[in-house]
Structure 1
């Protein structure tokens, strides 16, 4: 098993964890929509995970840089830019990315849900790219 295979195994694990984290976001937002969860506790839970999600994605992409897989890095860049955009454009006075007073607006909640589904699809696509790349590197290495 070569170093490329190890990089892609790590990427598979990282993308799986990021998918689970995104599913957690979707569940919390849908619970909020159905009034199973109040806005302040939902936003508190989600705000704790915004920076770790971005950091996890950046950390996983650093392994691709170490492995010199530049074309796959290009697939990761748009979502990394989106993470940093969202973190850097939090309005003053808000408690974080998810604010309990603004999330009651149905359009804001819907936009957060759409964003979570798009991120889930993105991580799923990356998962299969990593899986294919891992299999290819294992076959090529034999």
Structure 2
């Protein structure tokens, strides 16, 4: 509370009460109130948009975790000779492009929405996937070729790569989960 002045009234400059109609600061006060409401609405909309962005990213990450587990299981079955090489490679090649689109899509989406840290975390794997996809030799049936999968330890490398992708997507899953919860709570 402000202290009374020499004539017994309270000081209006303390900002305790909104200005009255006769005051010179009425327009400034109303403008500031409108700007504050507009800023508040913008922040709530931004938080809602961030929440939806990270929900979508979580669902996409779940799909990518499923694919990584599927690749690990397929490579281990191929290593133990439970699967035919041709059948295994054709099954895995069906999922290479959806994996590429899903991960690159989230990476571009994070760039567009200006989530820089998450974008920078997604770029290395997206670049790796794009590089591998566009460097497939012209004679191969796909990324995983039945005639080359057993050459020079390529099967072991593919297994290690699938395990690394699984760990990477699990890390991103928890980052997306934290970001989603943070966006929901910060209202």
| TM-score normalised according to structure 2 size | 0.72
Q: Which residue number in structure 2 is paired with residue 67 of structure 1?
A: 113
Question: Contact 1:39 / 1:104 at 8 angstroms: preserved in 2?
Answer: no
Aligned length: 141
- Bigger Cα displacement from structure 2, 118-127 vs 91-100: 91-100
Alignment counterpart, residue 54 of structure 1, candidates 100, 103, 108 = 100
Q: Which residue number in structure 1 is paired with residue 154 of structure 2?
A: 108
What is the DSSP-based 3-state SS (H/G/I as helix, E as strand, rest coil) of the residue aligned with 2:95? helix
More helix by share: 1
Larger Rg: 2
Structure 2 distance, partners of 1:67, 1:87, is: 26
Structure 2 distance, partners of 1:81, 1:62, is: 12
Structure 2 distance, partners of 1:27, 1:20, is: 11
Structure 1 distance, partners of 2:51, 2:138, is: 44
Alignment counterpart, residue 85 of structure 2, candidates 15, 39, 45 = 39
Q: Which residue number in structure 2 is paired with residue 12 of structure 1?
A: 58
Point out where structure 1 has 5 or more consecutive residues left out of the alignment. none
Q: CA deviation at 1:139?
A: 1.4
Question: What are the superposed Cα offsets for residues 48-69 of structure 1, whole Å, 9 maximum, x if unpaired?
Answer: 1111100011122233234321
Point out where structure 2 has 5 or more consecutive residues left out of the alignment. 1-46
Structure 2 distance, partners of 1:85, 1:16, is: 23
Q: CA deviation at 1:90?
A: 1.0
Aligned Cα root-mean-square deviation (Å):
1.3
Q: Which residue number in structure 1 is paired with residue 73 of structure 2?
A: 27
Q: CA deviation at 1:70?
A: 1.4
Q: Which has the higher contact order (CA 8 A, sep 6+)?
A: 1
Structure 2 distance, partners of 1:78, 1:117, is: 16
Please list every run of at least 4 consecutive aligned residues from structure 1 whose deviation after the TM superposition is greater than 4 angstroms.
Answer: none
Question: What are the superposed Cα offsets for residues 104-140 of structure 1, whole Å, 9 maximum, x if unpaired?
Answer: 2361000000000011111011001001111111111
